A = this chain, B = another copy of it.
Amino acid sequence: MILDCCIVHYYCLATPEHAVPPRIPPSIRCHLPYLLARAYQRQQRLFEAHTRDFDITGRDYGLLLMLESNPGLWQSEIADLMGLDRTTVTYLVDSLQKRGWVAREPDPADRRAHVVTMTADGRTALESIRPAAAAAIDEVLAPLDETERDQLRALLTRLLGH
């Protein structure tokens, strides 16, 4: 991704007891960019930890979810929806197609475009992975009760300008 650089990355999975090392001063620890980066990092690592037995990345999983609710997306639509370059989507779809989870074929209505759909195997894989992904989300959100989760949802939605 263009901006893989980010504000600060502090989380260390190997030493959870040092998740908040004492030498990070409040001036950094309370900065929202730092908190956001840390939360994202934690989410990433927990997703990987919970889905280690499956041949899937979080991005793959996200695309399967997208295709579940939007069968027949063009690759260019996937690029728009996921904020990725067209070329990156080519590789992403390639990778899922190699596992037999998605299929692509030219759109009869516009043969420039390729329509991507989930296969039966893809649906099976999605169902087998869903519990692990849900467990990862549960662990990320464990410190928040339902009210707090709603507040966080609302704030992030506002932050994104929705």
Q: How far is the CA of A106 from the CA of B30 in the complex (A)?
A: 32
If A15-B80, A144-B158 touch, whether A37 touches B35 (CB-CB below 8 Å) is: no
**Is A39 an interface position by the 8 A CB rule?**
yes
A81 and B18 CA atoms in complex are apart in Å by: 8
Chain B residue at minimal CB-CB distance from A157: B35
| Of B3, B34, B57, B148, the contact of A41 (CB 8 Å cutoff) | B3
Complex partner residue of A40 from B2, B36, B61, B149, CB under 8 angstroms:
B36
Binary contact track A38-72/B, C-beta < 8 Å → 1, others 0: 11111111011000000001111110011001100
Instruction: Flag if A83 contacts B13 (CB, 8 Å).
Output: yes
Residues on B with beta carbons closer than 8 Å to the beta carbon of A48 = 2-3, 5
CB within 8 Å of B: which A104-162 residues? 137, 140-141, 143-144, 148-149, 151-153, 155-162
Which of B36, B45, B141 contacts A43, CB < 8 Å? Answer: B36
> Is the beta-carbon distance between B151 and A21 smaller than 8 angstroms?
no
- Chain B residues within 8 Å of A98, by CB: none
Not counting A36-B40, A152-B152, a sample of 16 additional A-B residue pairs whose C-beta atoms are within 8 angstroms of each other reads A5-B44, A5-B47, A6-B62, A11-B83, A19-B161, A20-B161, A21-B80, A23-B70, A24-B81, A30-B157, A33-B137, A35-B156, A36-B43, A38-B160, A39-B40, A143-B158
